[in-house]
């Protein structure tokens, strides 16, 4: 979002805890070698640094965001990646739409209709594709954001029950999370095409 600070290559603001979470998100995205990734609400593409560190390819990455400021920042940092300034719910890719992963990293809460966003994401998945829903600060942080800024933050992070129902309706399966993962502190859920 354009109101967020733009990170830089030498930005040490990401502490070790957040960097570790970003690496876990990146790893969840790369379930297949050479995975083609669509990052919805990409901001300045901060995840791309972590995707590359776990074997991802900048050329296989497409970021989409409503903010032109963020898209310009991302394009200046990652010249081999593709970016689009657009509303995801009204966007269609210029190339083959079969993505291996559609990522909502700190962005699903900005959609008033999460099911519409997930339906649009599912329509872009390839045969073994997955949707990764993540927020490095967790569901509790998003609930606080929603309380303090309900105009900008349209929703909270989906509950496990809601996700299971949504996944079933979309022909997806919720993959088991790490046993010790506390979604309130670090939200990371993977929906896999069955």
pLDDT digits over 120-134, tens only? 999 999 999 999 999
Q: Give the model's pLDDT for residue 106.
A: 96
Whether residue 9 has pLDDT greater than 50 = no
pLDDT, tens digit, 9 for 90 and up, residues 25-40: 999 999 877 899 999 9
How far apart are the two ends of the chain, measured CA to CA in Å? 32
Percentage of the chain beyond pLDDT 70 is: 92
pLDDT, tens digit, 9 for 90 and up, residues 80-129: 999 999 999 999 887 777 899 999 999 999 999 999 999 999 999 999 99
Helix (H) or strand (E) holding 116: helix 114-122
Query: Any bridge partners for residue 47, and if so which?
Result: none
Which string of DSSP letters, residue by residue, matches 25-75?
Answer: HHHHH-SSTT--EEEET-TTTHHHHHHHHTT--GGGEEEEES-HHHHHHHH
Three-state DSSP at 159 gives coil
Tokens in use for 20?
């570790």
Task: Kindly report the pTM of this predicted structure.
Answer: 0.91
Query: Any bridge partners for residue 175, and if so which?
Result: none
């Amino acid at each position: 979002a354009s109101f967020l600070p733009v990170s830089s290559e030498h930005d040490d603001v990401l502490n070790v805890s957040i960097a570790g979470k970003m690496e876990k998100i990146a790893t969840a995205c790369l379930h297949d070698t050479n995975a083609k990734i669509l990052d919805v609400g990409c901001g300045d593409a901060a995840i791309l640094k972590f995707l590359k560190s776990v074997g991802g390819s900048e050329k296989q990455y497409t970021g989409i965001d409503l903010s032109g400021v963020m898209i310009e920042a991302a394009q200046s940092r990652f010249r081999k990646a593709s970016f689009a300034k657009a509303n995801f719910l009204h966007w269609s890719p210029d190339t083959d739409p079969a993505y291996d992963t559609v990522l909502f990293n700190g962005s699903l809460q900005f959609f008033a209709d999460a099911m519409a966003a997930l339906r649009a994401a599912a329509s872009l998945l390839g045969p073994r594709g997955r949707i990764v829903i993540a927020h490095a600060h967790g569901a509790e942080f998003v609930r606080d954001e929603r309380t303090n800024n309900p105009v900008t933050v349209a929703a909270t992070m989906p509950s496990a029950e809601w996700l299971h129902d949504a996944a079933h309706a979309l022909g997806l399966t919720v993959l088991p999370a790490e046993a010790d993962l506390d979604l309130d502190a670090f939200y990371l859920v993977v929906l896999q095409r069955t």
